[in-house]
Amino acid sequence: MNDPFNAILRALPSMDSLLAKGWISLFEDELGRSAVKSIASEAMDELRKEIIAGQRMEVEENAIEEEIRRRLEVRVKMKLKPLVNATGVVVHTNLGRSPLAQEAIETVASIARSYSNLEYDLSGGSRGHRGDHVEWLLERITGAESALVVNNNAGAVLLALSALAKGREVIVSRGELVEIGGSFRIPEILELSGAKLVEVGTTNRTYPKDYQSAITDQTALILKVHPSNYRIVGFTSSVPRSTLTDLARQSGLYLVEDLGSGVLEDLTESGLPGEPTVSECIKDGVDLVTFSGDKLLGGPQAGCIVGRRDLLDRMRSYPLLRALRTDKMTLAALEATLSLHMRGDWSSIPALAMVTASAEDLLSRAEALAEKLKKELPSWRVSVKKVYDVVGGGAFPEHPLEGYAVAVASPHMSEEELCDFLRSFKPPIICNVSGKSLLFHVRTLLLGDEDHIERALVEAWGGER
């Protein structure tokens, strides 16, 4: 190695001297000493390589520290942590979908901490069945003969197609060949299941005769898919569920419906018409309905399958089920959430409470928050704005919810600077931006979130003074 490189390398601070810095210990609290050390030495290794490659002729100690700090901050931000959702999107997939009900949280904690009767029958003292009670609750709530729970709805669809249609044909309307959430694509799930996709109709129009003429002796089932956020408007036509059930029955096929969000209760009275409930689908004669546990059901990530007992029994003995098996904490949370549905205690389920919150309640919450902020931040522009919130999770895409937000503009910080600051706050706060203002939608705020917002903005103000 030649000398100038050597001299620069020798001048680099030692790892021990870096780890002895005061600011580092703050990161040790969050990440642990060995993680901090590994991140710091990674940065130093890269620096050495750059020096040896001749890309750096001098290195200031300050710059080294700044680079290490940047990497540690990135790592801390990646840790799973609670945050404030002020976006007004209730089932926000990027923000963890549904927050759990208090009862569900407590049930998870008690089951997680201890042994449980997960697969043990306390009546007979013998081996029992995982998910028995959850399945019973799902049957009662939806009116289905039988139920099964897997890891998520994508898994539910995959299991149904694989167990019932592998090596055979599945008919799907072209208008329903959707991609959901960036990675769940109906044609890909079908291919993965080993079933053969038979597309019928066109993107905007599908008629009963399209299904009829696609049926062969190779057809196993008809799949109906909730189009989620995707809508074709104007010159459209799709086949009603009841026509599909008739068609399936006459042809000796099964009708499977991926309902996506899976609304358990009719929300028409709360101003949300138009989504079929799971029990309506069952009543209409759909053989199997699949839906998510963490969308409007308001529970943990899970995939629920309800419908005909003979079909569910085939899925129960299908080997893929083992790979999609739900964890005890999921079952605990789902069981507690379904018990709340069963009791009709929807206001205890945060996602449902948020979706059905009245405009008057939201207005008074927004006014209260705005009043506090005006007092704390006299030089800022603070006002209450009427906004539209979103159910999310693919349900009710045509029904924006009337809501309220507090609009805030700082006299000194740009909207981007303020958003950056809020994302780095503890807890991070995620909000919307409209023009020069930040919008804090109150619908999706949980207990205590208003205080976090107030604290964060006061701190941002203090920082700029």
Ligand X SMILES: *Cc1c(COP(=O)(O)O)cnc(C)c1O
Interacting residues with ligand X (CB under 6 A): 152-154, 180-181, 184, 225-226, 228, 258, 260-261, 292, 303, 393-394
The structure tokens 């019928």 sit at 200
Question: In the complex with ligand X, which residue's Cβ is closer, 93 or 364?
Answer: 93
Question: In the complex with ligand X, which residue's Cβ is closer, 226 or 372?
Answer: 226
Question: In the complex with ligand X, which residue's Cβ is closer, 72 or 302?
Answer: 302
For residues 264 and 297, the answer to whether their CB atoms sit within 8 Å is yes
In degrees, rounded to 5, the angle at the alpha carbon of residue 362 between the alpha carbons of residues 433 and 380 is: 45
Question: In the complex with ligand X, which residue's Cβ is closer, 160 or 439?
Answer: 160
* In the complex, least distance from residue 333 CB atom to ligand X, rounded to whole angstroms: 14
* In the complex, least distance from residue 259 CB atom to ligand X, rounded to whole angstroms: 7
Give dist(CA 186, CA 171) in Å, integer.
Answer: 12
* In the complex, least distance from residue 155 CB atom to ligand X, rounded to whole angstroms: 7
* In the complex, least distance from residue 29 CB atom to ligand X, rounded to whole angstroms: 34
* In the complex, least distance from residue 169 CB atom to ligand X, rounded to whole angstroms: 20
Question: In the complex with ligand X, which residue's Cβ is closer, 153 or 219?
Answer: 153
Question: In the complex with ligand X, which residue's Cβ is closer, 335 or 450?
Answer: 335
Which residue in the shown chain puts its C-beta closest to ligand X? 260
* In the complex, least distance from residue 229 CB atom to ligand X, rounded to whole angstroms: 8
* In the complex, least distance from residue 399 CB atom to ligand X, rounded to whole angstroms: 15
Question: In the complex with ligand X, which residue's Cβ is closer, 225 or 281?
Answer: 225
